[in-house]
Amino acid sequence: MRIIAGRYRGRQLTAVGKGDAKSHLRPTSDKVRESLFNILINGSLGDVVSNARVLDLFAGTGALGIEAVSRGATCARLVDSGRVAAQLIQKNMALLGNPDSLYFSRLDALALPRNSEASYGLIFLDPPYRKNLAPQAIASAQKQGWIDPNGVIICEENVKIDPPAGFEHIQTRTFGETVITVMRADPQTRS
C-alpha cells in the first residue's frame, strides 16, 4: 500500500499483516483510492480536496486521510477505535515524520463527542462491510458538529448508501465488491 500522488507520492505505508479480526481491517486498494481521488479532484463537484479539512472515520490505516493531505488538504483527523488500527495509523504518521497536518483520535465513530474545533468539509467513511454502520456514523458526526454545512461525504461499503436527511446523492461507483457513494449537504437545507 502506497500513497498515489502529491507531496508523499510513492511512500509505502505500513502493511496490515494479519490485522485484527474484530476490527475488520480492509484497506482501500491503491486502484480504488486513485479512482476515488480522481472523482474528488476532477469530478462534477470540482476539486473538493485542495485546502479541505478532512475527517477520516473508521480510518483503519489512515490511507485515505493521508492521501488527501498529500494531495493538498489542509489537515486530516484520522478516527478509529480499534487497537490495531491505532497502531497502524501511528506508524504511518511516523513514516511521514508526524506532520502537523495529521491528527489521530481513538474514538468510536458511532458515538463521537461534541466537536470543539472547526467542522470538516470532506468526510471519508470506511466502516466494516455488511454492518450498516455508515448511517449511524453520519448521524453521530452531524449531530456533534463534525460535518461542515457544505460537507462532502464519501462512503465506502459493499452496497450503495442512501443519503440521510439533509444530504443529496451525487454519484455511486462500483469497484468489484467495493461501492463508493458520494453525497453532500443538500443545497435546499444549507444555510
Angle, nearest 10°, between helix axes 83-95 and 63-70? 20
Mean pLDDT of 149-157: 94
Spatial CA neighbour of 5 closest among 50, 45, 43: 50
- pLDDT for 7-25, tens place per residue? 999 998 887 755 445 555 5
Q: What are phi and psi of 155, to 5 degrees?
A: -115, 130
For the structural domain made of 30-185, what CATH number should be given? 3.40.50.150
The Cα 91–Cα 165 span in angstroms is 37
Buried b (16+ CB within 10 A) or exposed e, 18-38: ebbeebbbbbbeeebbebbbe
Which cell numbers in the block locate residue 27?
Answer: 484497506
Q: The whole model's pTM is what? A: 0.91
Task: Give the largest Cα separation in the chain, rounded.
Answer: 46
Gyration radius of the chain's alpha carbons: 15
Sign of the alpha-carbon dihedral angle for 190, 71, 156, 92: negative
Any idea where the domains of the chain sit in the sequence?
A: 30-185
- Statement: residue 32 has pLDDT above 70: yes
Distances (CA, A) of 180 to 33, 51, 65, 113, 185: 10, 22, 16, 26, 17
pLDDT score of 14: 84
Residues 6+ apart with CB under 8 A from 143: none
- pLDDT for 40-88, tens place per residue? 999 889 999 999 999 999 999 999 999 999 999 999 999 999 998 999 9
